[in-house]
């Protein structure tokens, strides 16, 4: 019969006491690691879900989806000229989640991705398939659950500008954060926008933020790097922002030249 001690309440603790023998310590260390990993994966899944919802909204609002959604690798016809570019893009999409993204180290710091040049810089004449291939990468990744933003430079800037309207659904800071944090940002037709000081500052801050955190970008443009810097420089400006933007892109992107007759006039 247990001794009854007046004034004391005894309760049963549901959390088991861990044995401290060597074998048990190893067992619990492994269990804790698994639990931490599960929690991290769950947090990442939730973060990505929230990001996908934000992207879906953004995509709906700017009408990007209809323009890009049917451009896939399956509908891209391979010929002698475009074979290499198509192969590079397909391999990029296939390897994206394994080697193109930075990883979080044990101490919480961001580690560079396995592939140092984790972006693509696709240049070439009109109608050569740059947007088609960029959209094919986007569609493949989105299908696999990776959030991607694929926008023309003009739409991207317009989207930021819309946040200036009173009653807009997102703040400028939210949109800029999304452009900076999304696993893959594709900027289509860089250099086709009318250059302004505000625009070149906005582009620089997006590219620079992604550059600093090793986040990949894909650029398509009708202009090579030298000409592009000129195109992005507003009249009367020293072009510093444009040059710094292109400089960073050249460092982190693999160049793909697509120079052949336009598919549109075939």
Report the relative pairing of strands 184-188 and 217-221 from DSSP bridges: parallel
Contacts of 154 (CB under 8 A, 6+ apart): 189, 192, 193
131 binds Mg ion (CB under 5 A): yes
CB of 222 to Mg ion, least distance (A): 8
Q: Which does 77 bind (CB under 5 to 8 A by kind): ligand ATP, Mg ion, none?
A: ligand ATP
CB of 260 to ligand ATP, least distance (A): 9
Contacts of 4 (CB under 8 A, 6+ apart): none
Distance CA 40, CA 29 (A): 16
Stretch that binds Mg ion, among 13-21, 99-107, 127-135, 223-231 (CB under 5 A): 127-135
82 binds ligand ATP (CB under 6 A): yes
The residue whose two tokens read 């398939």 is 129
| Tokens representing residue 37 in the block | 């990993």
Ranked by CB distance to Mg ion, the top (closest) residue is: 131
Distance CA 73, CA 77 (A): 8
Distance CA 12, CA 110 (A): 44
Among 54, 132, 243, 248, the residue binding ligand ATP under the rule CB under 6 A is 132
Report the relative pairing of strands 148-152 and 103-104 from DSSP bridges: unpaired
For Mg ion, the closer of residues 151 and 182 by Cβ is 151
Among 48, 110, 127, 177, the residue binding ligand ATP under the rule CB under 6 A is 127
69 binds ligand ATP (CB under 6 A): no
| Count of residues that interact with ligand ATP, criterion CB under 6 A | 17
CB of 171 to Mg ion, least distance (A): 30
Q: Which does 140 bind (CB under 5 to 8 A by kind): ligand ATP, Mg ion, none?
A: none
**Angle at CA of residue 47, ends 42 and 50, nearest 5°:** 125
Instruction: Compute φ and ψ for 14, nearest 5 degrees.
Output: -75, -20
Q: Which does 171 bind (CB under 5 to 8 A by kind): ligand ATP, Mg ion, none?
A: none
Among 54, 130, 210, 243, the residue binding ligand ATP under the rule CB under 6 A is 130
Strand partners, 253: 119
47 contacts 104 by C-beta, under 8 angstroms: no
210 binds ligand ATP (CB under 6 A): no
Residues that bind ligand ATP (CB under 6 A): 71, 75-77, 82, 126-132, 189, 220, 222, 263-264
**Which residues of this protein are in contact with Mg ion, per CB under 5 A?**
131
């Amino acid at each position: 019969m247990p001794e009854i001690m007046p004034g004391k309440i005894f309760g049963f603790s549901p959390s088991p006491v861990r044995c401290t023998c060597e074998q048990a310590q190893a067992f619990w260390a492994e269990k804790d690691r698994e639990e931490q990993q599960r929690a991290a994966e769950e947090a990442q899944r939730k973060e990505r879900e929230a990001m996908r919802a934000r992207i879906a909204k953004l995509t709906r609002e700017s009408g990007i989806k209809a323009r890009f959604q049917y451009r896939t690798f399956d509908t891209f016809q391979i010929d002698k000229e475009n074979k290499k570019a198509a192969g590079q893009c397909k391999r990029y999409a296939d390897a994206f989640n394994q080697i193109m993204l930075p990883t979080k180290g044990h101490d919480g710091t961001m580690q560079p991705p396995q592939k140092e040049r984790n972006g693509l810089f696709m240049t070439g004449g009109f109608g050569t398939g740059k947007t088609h291939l960029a959209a094919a990468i986007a569609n493949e990744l989105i299908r696999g659950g990776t959030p991607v933003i694929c926008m023309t430079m003009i739409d991207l800037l317009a989207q930021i500008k819309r946040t200036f309207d009173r009653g807009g659904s997102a703040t400028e800071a939210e949109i800029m954060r999304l452009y900076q944090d999304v696993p893959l940002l594709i900027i289509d037709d860089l250099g086709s926008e009318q250059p302004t000081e505000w625009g070149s500052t906005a582009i620089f801050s997006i590219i620079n933020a992604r550059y600093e955190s090793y986040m990949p970008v894909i650029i398509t443009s009708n202009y090579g790097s030298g000409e592009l810097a000129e195109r992005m420089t507003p009249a009367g400006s020293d072009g510093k922002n444009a040059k710094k933007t292109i400089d960073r892109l050249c460092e982190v992107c693999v160049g793909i030249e697509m120079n052949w007759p336009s598919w549109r006039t075939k």
